[in-house]
Copies of this chain bind each other. A is one copy, B any other.
Amino acid sequence: MAHTDNVYKLIELTGTSSNSIEEAVNNAFTRASKTVRNMRWFEVIETRGAIEDGKVAQWQVTIKVGFTMDD
């Protein structure tokens, strides 16, 4: 398998969810895919959240996303 010498751009997004880390990440992609094409991989950078009434009210997960730059 030959590797094409692609160039990728990386952006950072924070997705949020009241349920889980996984859902917060997927929410970020759902929103970003409206304007960004060709997203390939991601890395979780930071996991934070808001607390209300003594429990997690919102997961806030920051990810770095790589996507192919079109020619």
Q: Is A54 a contact of B29 with CB atoms below 8 Å?
A: yes
Complex copy number for this chain: 12
Q: Kindly identify, within residues 47 to 71 of chain A, every residue whose CB is under 8 Å from any CB belonging to chain B.
A: 47-52, 54-59, 62, 64-66, 69, 71
Residue of B nearest to A41 (CB): B50
Residues of B with C-beta under 8 A to A46 = 43-44
Q: How distant is A7 from chain B, measured CB to nearest CB, in Å?
A: 4
State A8–B32 Cα separation when bound (angstroms): 10
State A8–B3 Cα separation when bound (angstroms): 21
State A30–B51 Cα separation when bound (angstroms): 11
Residue of B nearest to A40 (CB): B51
State A31–B70 Cα separation when bound (angstroms): 9
